[in-house]
């Protein structure tokens, strides 16, 4: 079973700060991590390989420092890593990214399964999986939370719905996007990590020429969508703070709600209005 | 190819820093400097008063899209039930359609779903493209993709909106790749740029810490998925529209996927997006008993109970009741936040509420910044007092 896992390096968005002056993101000092969903994809791939013959290839597109996520994936049990890195890839939207990843997968050759995370926490688009699948003309299943059976030509999986589950059988080769419910990712082992950081580690770096794409097809130039502006979200309202004794402030609040246009929405008011 | 600074011209005014969507500029010792992550997008060139920023990147040609007209909304249904987000999108589409002077259409796909067309028309669809077939009964990606692709190629819409629901987020990227269209995910605002007449798509990024405005200049339709619960569904009871049937040719083989089983969860359905009043609680509520008091207030006001991620993770309320970036977006008439600090991820899901009331004992809590009325105090005193006074 040949599996390709798509893994992205992302900034840890839990402590993102903005530059007050420019409204831009302060990237300095932001820790980079493997995108959380993608860890579950790696774990699933390694488990699927265990107990049968197979190969797990981890593929990532990003700056050179993204090599760290490949080492970590190999530490978790992946066989090899490929980093797509080229200045020409910078600024890519999901159209250009899915094209670049698709081209690289074609170069890797035959595969049975492609696994990716449902979404990346920096862009939160959840678009790459289905777009890569469409580029490769294979079916996809999103929100996978359980892989039940893998046969030669089909895979049976459970996917999450808004309020329940759906069990599907999909023809192989296929692409799955996975969510956290799927499994508990293992930690990389020390000896595998050392293996992944040796000079002869099974990691390759490909540039635009290696995957056979032209500069104008990838990165910002190859993108169909463009960010024209970023700004800090504005949430502020003209707030009024009510001060004083609880009974009094609650009374004041209720008076204001009653007079507001929201009053009709409130059951408690409509009954008092009838009096 | 790149962007660079003519040092002699630069006066270190900082304007380019503000314009750069990629934070790829810095001003050091009074001079701008282009960092490695620059993508040569050119946003800085326009704002530089001193013409100190230069590029050798050629401007990209925008194709002629005058043949693409109309605003489309994907009418999402499961088991013959329309997803509310589709009606919300029709509301928005009508507004965009008025500005552009273009028609609004709904794309309705399924099996025996034609009676939904009437609802779509009464929420503003001028046309309903109807695709019915036995193989389209349940949602399956490749079947729906093929139908949508054929419709887009035949009728060439200008804008195509889907809900950022499970189905929408599965289908939209697939369709976008298939028809060669740019797609923006999970938008929270849409408007038309008055100069270029293109769709301005606003969405949060980096965990809601940054908002980005995104455009699709180089492809049609301009596609976006839109977060449920943010746009407003506007009933137009007298609106007239017509149904256009789409012929279908599909085979089981090309769909590549079978649904073996669907299991619902046996939980009480909460419908936060439709609630007019929401009483929400956070860590300050303290325990499940605290939430029972909120429940009582919600019942008196005719609303629902919701909470922060902390409240969900503490097991005080079920996960479906979480409001925020990783929970639901809601826009009730009245949102009462009790013992909630107002973290950005929580505000992202409730800031579109019509009126916001905050009860928090910390006067510096961020929730007060978004509140119309705030009470600084202990919610364990304030909420029971509200119940008492409302009961009269
Ligand atoms: C990627 C990501 C996604 C997230 N998504 C979400 C999301 O969707 N929704 C969400 O809610 N959070 C989300 N969070 C978490 C969010 O950052 C906050 O941690 C969370 O919202 C805080 O919840 P809280 O306000 O209940 O708790 P706290 O921040 O601990 O605030 C408790 C508040 O209660 C007040 N208080 C305490 N006792 C009382 C009392 N007796 N009377 C009155 N006030 C009292 C305190 O003054 C304090 O302000 C997310 C975080 C991350 C990193
Ligand atoms: N640059 C990238 N390199 C490798 N995989 C990626 C990249 N971007 C996205 N992916 C994969 O696509 C998934 C969804 O990402 P996104 O569509 O950006 O939310 C991620 O969880 C990854 O598995």
User: B71-124, pLDDT tens digit by residue?
Assistant: 999 999 999 999 999 999 999 999 999 999 999 999 999 999 999 999 999 999
Same domain, B172 and B246: yes
CATH number for the domain that contains residue B13? 3.30.70.20
| A198: exposed, middle or buried (Cβ count in 10 Å: 0-12, 13-18, 19+) | exposed
B251, B288: one domain: no
Mean pLDDT of chain B: 92
B359-382 burial: b if 16+ Cβ within 10 Å, else e: bbeeeebbbbbbbbbbbbbebbeb
**Lowest-confidence segment of A53-62, A70-79, A253-262, B64-73 by average pLDDT:** A253-262
CA distance linking residue B392 with residue A250, whole number of Å? 13
The per-residue b/e assignment along B155-166, b for 16 or more CB within 10 angstroms, e otherwise, is bebbbbbbbbbb
Asked if residue B234 and residue B159 are part of one domain, the reply reads: yes
Whether B195 and B249 share a structural domain: yes
Of the partner residues A94, A129, A166, the one whose CB lies closest to the CB of residue B262: A166
Identify which of A75, A17, A98 has the alpha carbon closest to the alpha carbon of residue A195: A75
Which value does ipTM take for this structure? 0.81
Q: Please tell me the distance from the alpha carbon of residue B145 to that of residue A95, in angstroms, as a whole number.
A: 17
- Does residue A97 sit at the B interface (CB-CB below 8 Å)? no
pLDDT (tens digit per residue) in B188-228: 899 999 999 999 999 987 766 778 999 999 999 999 999 88
Output the ligand 1 site: residues, CB below 6 A.
Answer: A 14; B 207, 282-284, 308-311, 322-327, 339-341, 343, 345-346, 349, 359-362, 365, 378-380
Above 90 in pLDDT, residue A45?
A: yes
CB B159 within 8 A of CB B221: yes
Assess whether pLDDT exceeds 90 at residue B386: yes
Which residue in the set B22, B181, B390 is minimally distant from A224, CB to CB? B181
Q: Tell me how far apart the alpha carbons of residues A212 and A19 are, in angstroms, rounded to a whole number.
A: 39
pLDDT at A275 over 50: no
Most confident of A8-22, A130-144, A256-270: A130-144
Residues of chain A with C-beta less than 8 angstroms from the C-beta of B376: 241, 243
Of A16-20, A146-150, A250-254, give the lowest mean pLDDT range.
A16-20
Q: How far apart are CA B62 and CA B189, in angstroms?
A: 24
Token representation of residue B33:
């400097």
Instruction: Kindly state whether A22 is in contact with chain B, defined as any CB-CB distance less than 8 angstroms.
Output: yes
Q: Are B170 and B302 contained in the same domain?
A: no
What does the alpha-carbon distance between residue B293 and residue A57 come to, in Å, rounded to a whole number?
Answer: 53
Test the A interface: residue of B15, B162, B170 with most A CBs within 10 Å: B170
Asked if B221 has any chain A CB less than 8 Å from its own CB, the reply is no
> A67 in helix, strand or coil?
helix
The rounded distance, in Å, linking the Cα atoms of B15 and A186 is 47
Rg over CA atoms, chain A:
24
* Residue range(s) defining the domain that contains residue B281: 272-391
What is the pLDDT at residue B362?
Answer: 95
B112 and B239 belong to one structural domain? yes
What is chain B's length? 392
Q: Could you give the dihedral angle defined by the CA atoms of residues A24, A30, A35 and A40, in that order, rounded to the nearest 10 degrees? A: -150
Task: Assess whether B108 and B24 both reside in one domain.
Answer: no
Confidence of residue B20 (pLDDT cuts 50, 70, 90): confident
Q: Let me know whether B305 and B196 are in one domain.
A: no
User: pLDDT (tens digit, 9 = 90+) per residue, A132-183?
Assistant: 999 999 999 999 999 999 999 999 999 998 778 999 999 999 999 999 889 9
Do B182 and B244 share a domain, yes or no? yes
Residue B261 covered by a domain: no
Question: With an 8 Å Cβ cutoff, is A243 touching chain B?
Answer: yes
B201, B239: one domain: yes
B266 in a structural domain: no
Q: Is residue B314 situated within a structural domain?
A: yes
Tokens of B80: 């013959």
Task: Give the distance (Å) from ligand 2 centre to CA of residue B50.
Answer: 39
pLDDT tens digits along B63-75: 999 999 999 999 9
Q: What is the mean pLDDT of residues A266-272?
A: 69
Domains annotated for chain A, with CATH where assigned, are 2-217 (3.40.50.620), 238-275 (no CATH)
Q: What is the pLDDT of residue A198?
A: 87
Residue with tokens 């282009």: B34
Domain total in chain B: 3
Cβ B275 vs Cβ B303: under 8 Å: yes
In A, minimum Cα distance to B347 occurs at: A235
Mutate to test the pocket of ligand 2, among A10, A33, A35 (most ligand atoms within 8 A of CB): A35
What pLDDT sits at residue B38? 81
Q: B373 in a domain, yes or no?
A: yes
Pairing of the two strands B53-55 and B3-5: antiparallel
Question: A130: which residues sit within 8 A by CB, 6+ positions away?
Answer: A140, A142, A175, A177, B141, B170, B173, B174, B177
| Per-residue pLDDT tens digits for B350-360 | 988 889 999 99
Distance CA(A201)–CA(A146), nearest Å, equals: 32
State whether B84 and B218 are in the same domain: yes
Which residue from B349, B346, B32, B214 is spatially nearest to A226, judged by alpha carbons? B214
Residue B347 belongs to domain with CATH number: 3.40.50.1220
- C-alpha closest to that of B367 among B286, B359, B281: B359
Q: Is there a domain that residue B99 lies in?
A: yes
For CA atoms A36, A40, A45, A49, the dihedral sign is positive
User: Which tokens is B327 given?
Assistant: 């929970």
Q: In whole angstroms, what is the distance from residue B231 CA to residue B250 CA? A: 34
Question: Is B66 inside any structural domain?
Answer: no
CB contact under 8 A, B302 and A253: no
Task: Tell me whether A191 touches chain B (CB under 8 Å).
Answer: no
- Rounded CA separation B151/B147 (Å): 6
Instruction: Please tell me the distance from the alpha carbon of residue B123 to that of residue B240, in angstroms, as a whole number.
Output: 10
Do B19 and B148 belong together in one domain? no
Cβ contact, residue pair B204, A128, below 8 Å: no
Please check the confidence at residue A272 and state whether its pLDDT lies above 50: no
Give the residue, A39 or A269, on which the prediction is more confident.
Answer: A39
Give, for ligand 2, the residue of A117, A126, A143 to mutate: max count of ligand atoms closer than 8 Å to Cβ: A117
Of B193, B220, B255, at which residue does a domain stop? Answer: B255
In a domain, B64, yes or no: no
Give the bridge partners for A224, in sequence order.
Answer: none
Question: Looking at the domain assignment, is residue B303 inside a domain?
Answer: yes
Which residue is closest to A97 within chain B, CA to CA? B177
CATH number at residue B197: 3.40.50.620
> Is A110 touching B (CB cutoff 8 A)?
no
In this predicted structure, which of A232-241, B30-39, B120-129, B200-209 has the lowest mean pLDDT? A232-241
Closest residue, chain B, to A125 (C-alpha): B185
């Amino acid at each position: 079973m040949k599996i390709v896992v798509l893994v992205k390096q992302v900034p840890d968005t839990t402590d993102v700060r903005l530059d007050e002056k420019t409204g831009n993101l302060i990237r300095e000092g932001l820790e980079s991590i493997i995108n959380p969903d993608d860890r579950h994809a790696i774990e699933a791939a390694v488990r699927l390989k265990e107990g049968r013959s197979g190969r797990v290839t981890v593929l990532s597109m990003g700056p050179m420092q993204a090599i760290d996520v490949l080492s970590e994936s190999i530490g978790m049990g992946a066989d090899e890593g490929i980093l797509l890195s080229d200045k020409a890839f910078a600024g890519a939207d999901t159209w250009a990214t899915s094209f670049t990843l698709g081209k690289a997968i074609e170069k890797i050759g035959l595969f049975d399964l492609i696994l990716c995370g449902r979404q990346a926490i920096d862009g939160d688009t959840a678009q790459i999986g289905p777009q890569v699948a469409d580029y490769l003309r294979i079916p996809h299943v999103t929100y996978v939370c359980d892989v039940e059976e893998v046969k030669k030509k089909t895979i049976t999986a459970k996917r999450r719905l808004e309020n329940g589950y759906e069990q599907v059988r999909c023809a192989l080769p296929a692409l799955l996007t996975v969510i956290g419910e799927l499994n508990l990712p293992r930690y990389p082992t020390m000896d595998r990590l050392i293996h992944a950081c040796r000079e002869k580690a099974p990691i390759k770096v490909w540039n635009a020429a290696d995957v056979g794409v032209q500069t104008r097809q990838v990165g910002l130039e190859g993108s169909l969508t463009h960010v024209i502006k970023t700004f800090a979200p504005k949430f502020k309202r003209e707030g009024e703070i009510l001060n004083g004794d609880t009974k009094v402030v609650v009374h004041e609040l209720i008076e204001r709600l009653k007079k507001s246009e929201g009053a009709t929405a409130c059951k408690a008011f409509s009954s008092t209005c009838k009096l | 190819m790149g962007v660079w600074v003519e040092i002699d011209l630069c006066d270190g005014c900082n304007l380019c820093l503000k314009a750069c969507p990629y934070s790829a500029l810095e001003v050091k010792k009074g001079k701008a400097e282009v960092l490695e992550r620059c993508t040569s997008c050119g946003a800085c060139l326009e704002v530089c008063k001193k013409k100190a920023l230069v590029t050798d990147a050629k401007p990209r040609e925008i194709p002629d899209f005058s043949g693409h007209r109309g605003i489309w909304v994907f009418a999402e249904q499961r088991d013959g039930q329309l997803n509310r987000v589709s009606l919300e999108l029709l509301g928005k589409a009508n507004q965009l359609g008025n500005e552009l002077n273009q028609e609004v259409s709904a794309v309705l796909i399924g099996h025996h779903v034609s009676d939904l067309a009437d609802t779509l028309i009464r929420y503003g669809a001028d046309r309903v493209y109807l695709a019915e077939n036995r193989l389209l009964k349940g949602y399956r990606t490749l079947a729906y993709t093929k139908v949508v692709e054929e419709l887009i190629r035949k009728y060439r819409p200008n804008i195509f909106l889907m809900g950022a629901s499970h189905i929408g987020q599965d289908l939209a990227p697939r369709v976008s790749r298939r028809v060669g269209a740019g797609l923006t995910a999970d938008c929270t605002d849409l408007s038309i740029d008055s100069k270029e007449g293109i769709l301005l798509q606003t969405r949060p990024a980096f965990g809601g810490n940054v908002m980005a405005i995104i455009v699709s200049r180089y492809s049609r339709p301009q596609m976006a998925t839109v977060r449920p619960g943010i746009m407003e569904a506007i009933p137009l009871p007298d609106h007239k529209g017509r149904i256009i049937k789409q012929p279908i040719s599909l085979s089981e083989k090309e769909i590549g996927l079978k649904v073996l089983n669907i299991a619902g969860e046996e939980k009480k359905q909460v419908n936060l997006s439709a609630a007019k009043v929401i009483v929400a609680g956070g860590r300050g509520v303290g325990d499940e008993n605290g939430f029972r008091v909120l429940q009582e207030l919600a019942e008196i006001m005719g609303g629902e109970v919701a909470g922060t991620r902390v409240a969900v993770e503490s097991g005080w309320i079920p996960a479906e009741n979480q409001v925020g970036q990783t929970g639901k977006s809601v826009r009730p008439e009245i949102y009462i936040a009790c013992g909630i600090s107002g973290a950005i991820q929580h505000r992202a899901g409730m800031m579109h509420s019509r009126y916001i009331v905050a009860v928090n004992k910390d006067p510096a809590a961020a929730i007060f910044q978004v509140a119309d009325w705030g009470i600084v105090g202990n919610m364990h005193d304030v909420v029971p007092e509200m119940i008492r006074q409302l009961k009269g």
